[in-house]
Amino acid sequence: MNKHFKKVVFIILAIGALFIIATVSINSILKNKLEKFIQERLPENIASAYDDITVETFGGSLTVSNASVVISNTQDKVKHTFINVEKLKISDISYWNYLVNDEIHIENISLENPRILYYQDLQTPSKDSTRNPVARIYKPISVDRVQIKNTRLAIYEKGKDSTKIYATGLTVELNDILVDNKTVLRKIPFNYKNVEATSDTVFVKVGKYENLTVEEFSIKNNNAIFKNLNLKTKYSKRELSRIITKERDHYDLSVKSLSIADFDFGFKQNRFFAKSRMISVNTPSLEIYRDKLVADDPKIKPLYSKMLRDLPFELTVDSLTITDAKIRYEERQKPENMGGSINFENLNAAISNVSNTYKSPTKTDIKVSANFMNDTPLTADWSFDVQNPNDQFIFKADVGLLVADKLDSFTEPNLKINLNGEVDKTYFTISGEKTASIIDMKINYNDFSISILNKEGKEEKKVLSAIANLFIKKNSEKDGENFREGRGHVTPDNTKSFFNYLWLNIKEGLLRSITGVPDKVDRAKNKETKKAARNERRAERKKERLANRDNH
């Protein structure tokens, strides 16, 4: 019995020893094959290094520690991308799928603490017009989950202000990934079904003058939330005016939170698309400053319908809401001061069909309510058809009680004018397109007058003020009616923005309503109408004379 027991123990030990030897041998073989794969299968412009590779055959996993990848240009060998990963682990590799289904199936890939540096201007495009694969794929690779944890990403470009994008604490998870010989030829070289991501601080250089920062964001189930966004001009107001040669707005925008619901993006036939069911902007605060002493920018400014229509990608946003916004606009027109301002508070907006994919006659519709100059209620409804080549639009507004001198903070430093009186109610409708518009205005006001100030803005020029007020109807009552009405025609300056176009219409409507003088177009029409009436009366009289002569 003891002899038999010893024999069994010996066999078990022998099997165990063989198992250990086999495991070590297989691990060694697989490790050598992996190292050979890295050396031989990677493209020549990709160099890799690592401290160690650990293979667990029966667990179906491998770990690479302190891995690094350097990518260079194929032509000039200049290095432009540097990637370092503290730990790369591939878990639960399916040998069955490899042997039976001729594909590589992996349950999980995780990268810990990656550091990615990309020098954008060092990369040169390939001279070959055909798109080359990122790497040669001999078998399809499917991965249930990829986790990239605590990434630090930096993208640089030329110049002193070289940081283009910087992110810390970036964690990304992708599910159901597939890579094969077809996907590697695409701009996004793999298929996936879901993405989740979180990050701490994100910095983006939006352009030459503005930077964007995000305190944190999260993406899950095709929904994204961004917190504490800031888009700011990197220079002070005075410094910006000093360095620019053409006028440009100085921005200071902060947004408490921005959410994007049910989004999707990608490529359709190499054309990028982005869409979302709903975008919500919560508690934004925007300050805009423009120095009109800087030379005008003569570049054509298209209307928003054309800007959407001409986007280089497909955009589809079913609805966009803005909640509890504040807007302050400052404009400087005189060298002796920093200008005046107007403001909107408690601004709420509902915008539908922000898109260039809808077909006519579907319209983009913008409904806004706000308090103008602190306590004047204002509502507006603005609509246009993005696909209309003439950029036709309708803009309607309803403005409540406005004490005129509230506008002095803008008109006094910029126009050297003070306004007096009260405007109880104002309605106007602008029907326009890219080349012309018509405004119809109704206004109810009391004791309205203007005071023209001297250059210093301290004393009134009484004679000029008196002359100006001769053309202004003091009150809106006319023939027992409470409203004065005016109609004006406007030709836009296409080197100015839509809001300048809007202001030209409002100014024309106010002028025609308050003075009662019709504009040139209406005067010409009235003249033609009167002329036609005179001609008709002359013809009737001539006809009567001829009839009387025949009777005699």
Instruction: Read off the pLDDT of residues 53-74 as tens digits, 9 standing for 90 and up.
Output: 777 766 667 788 898 888 888 8
Tell me which of 147, 182, 205 is where a domain ends. 205
**Domain assignment present for 547:** yes
Nearest to 39 by CA among 25, 26, 50: 50
Distance CA 261, CA 280 (A): 8
**Domain assignment present for 543:** yes
**Domain assignment present for 394:** no
Share of the chain above pLDDT 90, in %: 43
Q: Which residue has the higher pLDDT, 516 or 260?
A: 260
**Domain assignment present for 407:** no
Q: In the predicted model, is pLDDT for residue 529 greater than 50?
A: yes
Distance CA 323, CA 349 (A): 7
DSSP run (H or E) holding 529: helix 520-551
User: Which region among 36-50, 326-340, 388-402 has the lowest average model confidence (pLDDT)?
Assistant: 36-50
Tell me which of 159, 180, 205 is where a domain ends. 205
Q: Looking at residue 339, what is its pLDDT?
A: 77
Q: In the predicted model, is pLDDT for residue 389 greater than 80?
A: yes
Query: Please, which pLDDT band fits residue 547 given cuts at 50, 70 and 90?
Result: low
Alpha helices in 381-460 (DSSP H): 408-415
**Domain assignment present for 309:** no
The C-alpha R_g of the chain, in whole angstroms, comes to 36
Nearest to 399 by CA among 431, 422, 366, 419: 422
Alpha helices in 42-129 (DSSP H): 95-100
**Domain assignment present for 129:** yes
Nearest to 503 by CA among 515, 490, 514: 490
Tell me which of 146, 178, 205 is where a domain ends. 205
Distance CA 301, CA 496 (A): 6
| CB of 399 closer than 8 Å to CB of 423 | yes
**Domain assignment present for 109:** yes
Query: Please, which pLDDT band fits residue 479 given cuts at 50, 70 and 90?
Result: very low
| CB of 320 closer than 8 Å to CB of 278 | yes
Distance CA 268, CA 121 (A): 27
Distance CA 114, CA 152 (A): 6
Residues 6+ apart with CB under 8 A from 238: none
Q: CA-CA distances (angstroms) from residue 487 to 139, 344, 437?
A: 73, 26, 11
Q: Looking at residue 526, what is its pLDDT?
A: 57
pTM flag (> 0.85) = no
| CB of 258 closer than 8 Å to CB of 225 | yes
Query: Please, which pLDDT band fits residue 433 given cuts at 50, 70 and 90?
Result: very high
The 3 state secondary structure assigned to 473-530 is CCCCCECCECCEEEEEEECCCCCCCHHHHHHHHHHHHHHHHHHCCCCHHHHHHHHHHH
User: Which region among 439-453, 454-468, 492-506 has the lowest average model confidence (pLDDT)?
Assistant: 454-468
Q: Tell me the per-residue pLDDT of 99-120, one tens digit each, with 9 for 90 and over.
A: 556 677 788 889 999 999 999 8
Query: Please, which pLDDT band fits residue 16 given cuts at 50, 70 and 90?
Result: very low
User: Total domain count for the chain?
Assistant: 2
**Domain assignment present for 215:** no
| CB of 305 closer than 8 Å to CB of 225 | no
For residue 533, the enclosing domain spans 526-552
Partners of 172 in the beta sheet? 148, 197
